[in-house]
């Protein structure tokens, strides 16, 4: 009994002393520099922040080019403030390159419902040309869970299905942290991604296992710090609008 009392007494005194040691003047925990720069957040969801790069504002695809071997201009259709995949013309990519970023992108499934599963409103957003966020009509169409809308394709199932009806627009807000490699090419830290789908958290700081693969186990290989963003031509007339991006290096 005496030993137990002594142990409790010792712990109480130790905690009291530690608490006293941690006390400092309030000013000691105040940081005044650097001062965050000011950014105009925009009046609403349709207005990009003042420091964003607008990748599509409704007029043209001047920020994009063909991602095919032939290259050249992006061949997708621009009409009424949106652009739409033209099947068999190939993927398109940004002319600028990006690494860690905040990406806002809005998309809509084809208005004529055709097919099921992976054959229904399929496209994809490839961050750094390698890491795919799935675009798919998953409102009332079953497929494998790590291949539905807002999945990290073949890697991470979304926390919930936040799809709107097919006639409505979907909104992705993506926070992507690029992978880091040592000078010898060894992976220092993996890529990670957080995604809000229509304002709902669906990917919570998921660490990617490597670049997107269809039928192989993903594995990291060293690559450039910044690379283009690619939008996939999967043969379905998926539409896009209001795309902007912020560098968060």
**Under a CB-based contact definition with an 8 Å cutoff, are residues 211 and 65 in contact?**
no
Q: What are phi and psi of 140, to 5 degrees?
A: -140, 50
Lowest mean pLDDT, pick from 23-37, 98-112, 162-176, 224-238: 23-37
Residue partners of 14: CB distance under 8 A and separation at least 6: none
Asked if the structure places residue 132 within a domain, the reply is yes
Q: What average pLDDT score do residues 146-171 get?
A: 97
Q: Which residues partner with 227 through β-bridges?
A: 98
Q: Is residue 107 situated within a structural domain?
A: yes
The per-residue pLDDT of the chain, averaged, comes to 92
Note whether residue 4 is domain-resident.
no
Report pLDDT for 234.
95
Distance CA 199, CA 173 (A): 8
What is the rounded average pLDDT of the residues 80-88? 97
Q: How many CB atoms lie under 10 A from the CB of residue 143? A: 19
Contact 130, 223 (CB under 8 A): yes
Specify the residue for token string 């599963």: 117
Decide: 195 and 133 in contact? Cβ < 8 Å: yes
Query: Does residue 145 lie in a domain region?
Result: yes
Q: What does the pLDDT read at residue 42?
A: 86
Question: What's the domain count of the chain?
Answer: 1
* pLDDT (tens digit per residue) in 200-227: 999 999 999 999 999 999 999 999 999 9
Question: Is 116 or 168 the better-scoring residue by pLDDT?
Answer: 168
Q: Is residue 13 part of a domain?
A: no
Residue 59 scores a pLDDT above 70 = yes
Q: The domain containing residue 188 runs over which residues?
A: 36-247
Cα angle at 24 between 20 and 30, to 5 degrees? 150
Residue 211's CATH number: 2.60.120.560
CA separation for the pair 48, 246 (Å, rounded): 9
Share of the chain above pLDDT 90, in %: 80
The reply to whether 194 falls in a domain is yes
Residue in 243, 227, 238, 220 with CA at minimum distance from that of residue 174: 243
* 16 located within any domain: no
Please tell me the distance from the alpha carbon of residue 220 to that of residue 68, in angstroms, as a whole number. Answer: 23
> Residue 43: pLDDT band by 50, 70, 90 thresholds?
confident
Residue 28 lies in a domain: no
């Amino acid at each position: 009994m005496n030993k137990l009392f002594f142990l409790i007494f010792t712990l109480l005194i130790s905690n009291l002393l530690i608490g006293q040691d941690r006390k400092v003047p309030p000013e000691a925990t105040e940081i005044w520099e650097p001062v965050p720069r000011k950014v105009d957040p925009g009046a609403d969801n349709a207005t990009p922040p003042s420091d964003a790069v607008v990748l599509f504002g409704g007029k043209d695809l001047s920020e994009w080019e063909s991602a095919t071997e032939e290259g050249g201009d992006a061949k997708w259709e621009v009409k009424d403030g949106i652009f739409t995949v033209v099947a068999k013309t190939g993927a398109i990519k940004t002319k600028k390159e990006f690494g860690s970023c905040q990406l806002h992108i809005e998309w809509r499934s084809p208005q004529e419902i055709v097919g099921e599963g992976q054959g229904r409103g399929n496209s994809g957003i490839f961050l750094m040309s390698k890491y795919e966020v799935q675009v798919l009509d998953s409102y009332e169409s079953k497929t494998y869970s790590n291949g539905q809308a807002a999945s990290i394709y073949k890697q991470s199932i979304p926390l919930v299905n936040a799809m709107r009806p097919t006639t409505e627009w979907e909104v992705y807000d993506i926070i992507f942290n690029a992978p880091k490699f040592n000078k010898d090419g060894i992976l220092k830290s993996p890529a990670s991604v957080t995604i809000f789908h229509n304002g709902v958290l669906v990917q919570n700081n998921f660490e990617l296992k490597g670049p997107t693969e269809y039928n192989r186990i993903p594995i990291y290989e060293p690559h450039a710090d910044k690379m283009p963003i690619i939008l996939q031509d999967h043969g379905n007339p998926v539409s896009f609008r209001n795309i902007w991006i912020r560098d968060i290096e």
